[in-house]
Amino acid sequence: MSSPVPKAPPVTLIIFGATGDLTRRLLTPALINMTRIGLVGGDFHVLGVGIEPGGDEMLRKHLEDFVPEKGGEGAVKKGAAWKQLRRRIAYMSGDFTQDALYEELAKRIAAARSDNVAFYLATQPSFFGPIVDKLADHGLLAEKPGAFRRVAIEKPFGTDLKSAQALNKRILARADESQFYRIDHFLGKETVQNIMTARFANMMIESLWNSNYIDHVEITAAETVGVGTRGKFYDTTGALRDMVPNHLFQLLAMVAIEPPNSFDAEAIRNEKAKVLKALRHWTPAEAAENGVRGVFTAGALGGQKVAAYTKTPDVAADSSTETFVALKFYVDSWRWAGVPFYLRTGKVMAARDTEIVITFREVPFAQFTNTEIDRKLPPNRLIIQVQPDEGLKMEISIKHPGLAVATAPVSLDFHYADLFDISTMTGYESLLYDLFIGDQTLFQRADGIEAGWAAVQPFLDLWSKGGKPDPYKPGSMGPPSADALLARDGRHWHAVSLPDAPRGVPAIKAVSARKKPR
């Protein structure tokens, strides 16, 4: 049994953009969970900062009315934990670009019970640089012996390689790299963190984790939702910028890293950076062959009508922004030589599904003479389900019961929900806790960020020259050209699980199906 996790040190969390969607939908539920399980206590305080007028009670009520107790993302049981946290939430209104705000902030921090401060930038990306500058100008990033000042920065971190380099240069001129925590919330998911454990704690997996045995890797992040009210933001961003250099590349790096010499944060971040720097950079002609972009048209999904992307509010009628992207990459290293990594992500697709599929090489020869067995056996697959229904599944072949020698596909299937209650976790609990204790393992470093942008820059350059994304219907898995991307290599995408569908091929439970006692 693992030892209990110690409580975080005393800290004041200052959230810029405290009345925004991220704070309500994800940060507040995570803080409630952390209060409930004792990761933070009475010496933890929240100071929200926003442009909206109001006081402490305004923010408390704003968050209280939004956080759902049943169903949906961010649903938590508020109860006593919320009552405890609620009392420790304060608010101040001001303009992020004005000195007066930071002068008042300095007074609030000086009067606080702890010198430990974590600033969380839950704002539009255009404010990241200016806020860091103002914090530094007013001495709010200066650390004292025994106390810390840290800054958590949400994505997107830059819009291309040049802007990411400029932002890194700007903030690192004001504070040390050790003080910046560039967040990718995918890395807070239990299954993502379990990738390293699955590999490095299981010799039978790690010994096969190379190009001798792995044929290809697929990473899918499919969403059923559309753009909603974010049309203005999304039309200047698109699926590639929104998802690939951050979320999907972080998943890729977790899969492809070499065994670190320790589980120290910098050792792991060093190995992840090596992977991202090893991504092959395509020429313009190669980018055209190895990238697909799509845009959803009008249609229906889940019994509801879906307007075409170009009919979405605040989206230009002649927009060429993509809502779907599929890309092929190689990691040019000894371990992964010749193994393609296929990435795809999109809006209003057939299912909400984030998964990593490791497809192993086919059996070279089915050595069953004078039997009815098929000569071509399906390849083994390891499927790492990130969301929803987090878990791992290994697809293998066994003998079908009976007198004839015939194979049957089955899966060794583990689902976190079968043993653990993680239904109320948002993924931000571990990220916030690590921010408070100073563990940067799950956060991106400057060189990793820039390496990711460098790898996608050929696609950004190519698509900026014109052309339109390929159309696809709502409820599909993208345009036909995405299927053709793999078909040219003699492969096909792994079929995602549709809503309300059975879990797949008959499963042999890898663990007891007994629920964790409540």
Residues annotated catalytic, as ranges: 247
Cα angle for residues 184, 278, 480 (degrees, 5° grid): 70
Name residue 373's amino acid: I
- Report d(CA 99, CA 135) in Å as an integer: 9
Q: What are phi and psi of 339, to 5 degrees?
A: -95, 115
Nearest to 34 by CA among 148, 42, 440: 42
- Report d(CA 256, CA 71) in Å as an integer: 35
What burial class does residue 240 get, using C-beta atoms within 10 Å of its C-beta: 0-12 exposed, 13-18 middle, 19+ buried? Answer: buried
Name residue 83's amino acid: K
320: left (phi > 0), else alpha (psi -120 to 50), else beta? alpha
Contact 358, 208 (CB under 8 A): no
Strand ranges (DSSP E) for 374-515? 381-387, 391-399, 407-415, 470-472, 507-509
Q: Supply 247's token pair.
A: 């979320």
Sign of CA pseudo-dihedral 96, 97, 99, 100: negative
Interstrand relation of 291-296 and 324-330 (parallel, antiparallel or unpaired): antiparallel
Distances (CA, A) of 427 to 3, 30, 33, 112, 492: 21, 8, 11, 28, 31
Q: Supply 244's token pair.
A: 């690939």
Q: Which long-range contacts (CB under 8 A, 24 or more apart) does 437-442 make?
A: 437/8, 437/9, 438/148, 438/150, 439/265, 440/178, 440/181, 440/265, 440/266, 440/269, 441/263, 441/265, 441/268, 441/269, 442/184, 442/187, 442/188, 442/193
Task: List helix spans (H) across 98-223.
Answer: 99-111, 128-137, 161-172, 190-200, 203-206
Contact 342, 486 (CB under 8 A): yes
220 sits in which H/E element: strand 214-222
What burial class does residue 341 get, using C-beta atoms within 10 Å of its C-beta: 0-12 exposed, 13-18 middle, 19+ buried? Answer: buried
Task: List helix spans (H) across 224-264.
Answer: 231-235, 238-243, 249-256
